[in-house]
Amino acid sequence: MSNLMVVAGATGLVGASAIDIALQRGWRVIALARNPAKLKQRAGLETIAADFDDLSTLADTLKPQAPKAFLCALGTTIGIAGSQPAFAKVDRDYVAAFARLGVLCGARSFGLVSAVGASAASANFYLRTKGEAEVAVRAAGYDHVEIARPSFLVGERIENRPGEGLATAVSRALSPLLAGPLSKYRPISGADVAGALVAGLELPQRGLFIRHYADLRAMARA
């Protein structure tokens, strides 16, 4: 059976960690990126330049390699994107297109980095967009879907995200107070989210699995 994982969002905090972890666990990895030159070359990793506005053109390249899993760590901020529509294009539309590509290529498992509180019915634009991305992934036709819903992500990013450092510092300070049902709002390292998704995609179960803080931490250390 193929042990190939295709990763989108490979230059981001979770995506970069997911590649490292997947390679360590014996996966072959293909990373899709607008600028593959940003990715460190490693044994077992292949990089492909991708136009996320037209991902379907990659089906003929990827399908013969029989990928087992697709992992999506695509994400931006409204500040970086410049507008709500531009944000939704990355965090919803590109995610949906990547999920469709995986099905075209025969992958049966999909992992997604979403956000705590994500819901297509939310009045909050950010959470609604994340929820709509989840709906698209769930509808794509996979046997096994892993959805990580972290709160603030901690770790060194390639890109600077204005305001995120302060928000993360506040959430870290409040973390000891976030117990029981509130623990899902604790900040978590991008490496833990990545590790949990990779581990989850290795599980033999079929179905939809939504993971919050406690599950993510436990799975990353399993």
DSSP 46-87: EEEE--TTSGGGGHHHHGGG---EEEE-----HHHHSSHHHH
Give the integer Cα–Cα distance in Å for 28 and 43.
9
pLDDT computed for residue 205 by the predictor: 92
pLDDT category of residue 222 using cuts at 50, 70 and 90: confident
Give the integer Cα–Cα distance in Å for 30 and 28.
7
Give domain limits for the chain.
Answer: 4-220
Residue whose token pair is 């990659």: 58
| pTM strictly above 0.75 | yes
- Dihedral of alpha carbons 145, 124, 51, 197, sign: negative
- AA letter at 16: A
Write out pLDDT tens, residues 120-171.
999 999 999 999 999 999 999 999 999 999 999 997 655 555 555 555 555 5
CATH of 4-220 given 3.30.499.10, 3.40.50.720, 3.30.559.10, 3.40.50.2300: 3.40.50.720
For 8, the 3-state DSSP assignment is strand
Q: What mean pLDDT, rounded, does the chain reach? A: 91
pLDDT computed for residue 120 by the predictor: 98
Residue 63 half-sphere exposure toward CB, CA atoms < 13 A? 12
Q: Cα 203–110–186 angle (5° rounding)?
A: 80
Write out pLDDT tens, residues 187-201.
999 999 999 999 999
Write out pLDDT tens, residues 25-78.
999 999 999 999 889 888 999 999 999 999 999 999 999 999 999 999 999 999
CA-nearest of 120, 150, 121 to 132 is 120
Give the integer Cα–Cα distance in Å for 103 and 110.
9
